[in-house]
Amino acid sequence: MANTNSIPTHLGIILDGNRRWAKRNGLPTLQGHRQGMDNFKDVSLAAFGRGVKFVSAYIFSVENWQRTQEEVSYLMNLVNKGIQKHLETYHQAGIKLVMLGSRQGIEKKILASIDTAIEKTKANTKGTFVLCFNYGGKQEIAEAAQKLAKQGSEITFESLDQAIGLA
Q: What type of residue is 149?
A: A
Number of C-beta neighbours around residue 48 at 10 A: 21
Q: Is 115 a catalytic residue?
A: no
pLDDT at 44: 95
Residue type, 157: F
The residue annotated as part of the active site, out of 18, 42, 64, 161, is 64
Least confident segment among 19-33, 60-74, 83-97, 114-128? 19-33
Q: Whole-angstrom Cα distance, residue 11 to residue 25?
A: 27
Query: What pLDDT score was predicted for residue 94?
Result: 97
Looking at residue 22, its pLDDT comes to 78
* Contact assessment for residue 105 and residue 135, using Cβ atoms and an 8 Å cutoff: no
Q: Is 64 a catalytic residue?
A: yes
Residues 6+ apart with CB under 8 A from 91: 120, 121, 124
pLDDT-derived band at 46 (thresholds 50, 70, 90) equals very high
Which amino acid is present at 44? S
Mean pLDDT across the chain, nearest whole number? 88
Among residues 3, 5, 16, 80, which one is catalytic?
16
Give the model's pLDDT for residue 24. Answer: 87
pLDDT at 141 over 70: yes
